[in-house]
Amino acid sequence: MGLSLSAGNLTFSDDNGIGQDNPKILIAPNDSYTFQESVANLKGNETIRVSAVFYADNSEEGDEAVRKNIHEERERQRQKRIKDSKEKN
């Protein structure tokens, strides 16, 4: 449901859990995925690594700080959706 890549001090995330309460799968099993990020943001010869992965069964792997940041952003966006929904009613 979510994936983060890191290169040097930069982290790029694509996470369906940020914008949805019941997120859809980002990458189906045995499927491929194209990560949309400008190469201008990367330095030459810099290693790109998978820094966090969030699975549909609610398990996760990867760097603790990256996962924590994603959980915090998910919660911020969830609270924003709740607030926006109340304001519309």
pLDDT at 79: 94
Residue 61 one-letter amino acid = E
Indicate the helix (H) or strand (E) that contains 51.
strand 49-54
What's residue 42's pLDDT?
A: 79
| pLDDT of amino acid 87 | 87
Give residue 40's pLDDT: 77
What pLDDT shows up at residue 32? 92
Per-residue model confidence (pLDDT) at position 8: 86
The two structure tokens encoding residue 12: 């790029």
Q: How far is Cα 79 from Cα 75, in angstroms, rounded to an integer?
A: 6
Length of the chain counted residue by residue: 89
Of 52, 44, 43, 49, residue with least CA distance to 73? 52
Q: Please give the pLDDT value at position 49.
A: 93
Low-confidence ranges of the chain (pLDDT < 50): none
